[in-house]
Amino acid sequence: MSSNKMNGLTMRVLHRYLGFFLAGIMAVYAVSGLVMIFRNTDYFKQDVRFEKQIGPGVQAADLGPALELKKLKVDKEAGGILYFKEGTYDSRSGEAIYTLKELPLVLNKLTQMHKATTKDPLYYLNIFFGLSLLFFVVSAFWMFLPSSNIFRKGLYFTLAGIVLTLIMLFV
């Protein structure tokens, strides 16, 4: 068997079994990617009520960091109670009661895995997955002989995909 045929066969086998191995994680990234499209909406989210004791006397400017809410804005203060969009804070008792919109547990875990950064141990999985997808791109060109009609048609589809990607990026 020639070296080119052996390389092609090896790529096909690696492509096939890596594809089977990564089928589950590809499904996770597909679902979480679709959910993340709607992250600026409340489409998949549900109300979650929180009651936190953060201590009395927290000032309006310090309330957001104390509750770990980045965009908290106090709307009004009356009788020692601070009112904000998500709930209230009683500055005398130190109790905050508020409601947030959050993804259900499973969807939240999927999207957190999708968004993992270098601070998260899951980023190793993301690097492996990204490299595996890059391998799929390259190894796909070893699926058919370059002289075949299917390969030539595949190149046209590849070119069309590249053009579509460029249009989506720059238009």
Closest CA to 98 of 123, 61, 73: 73
**Helix, strand, coil content of the chain in percent (nearest 5):** 55, 15, 30
Strands of 9-165, DSSP E: 46-53, 74-78, 81-84, 87-90, 95-102
pTM: 0.71
Q: Contact, 111 vs 35, CB < 8 A? A: yes
DSSP 142: G
pLDDT by position in tens, the chain (length 171): 677 777 778 888 998 999 899 998 899 889 999 999 999 999 999 999 999 999 999 999 999 999 999 999 999 999 999 999 999 999 999 999 999 999 999 999 989 888 889 999 888 988 999 999 999 899 888 888 888 999 999 999 999 999 999 999 998
Report the Cα–Cα distance between both ends of the chain, in Å, rounded: 48
Q: Contact, 107 vs 116, CB < 8 A? A: no
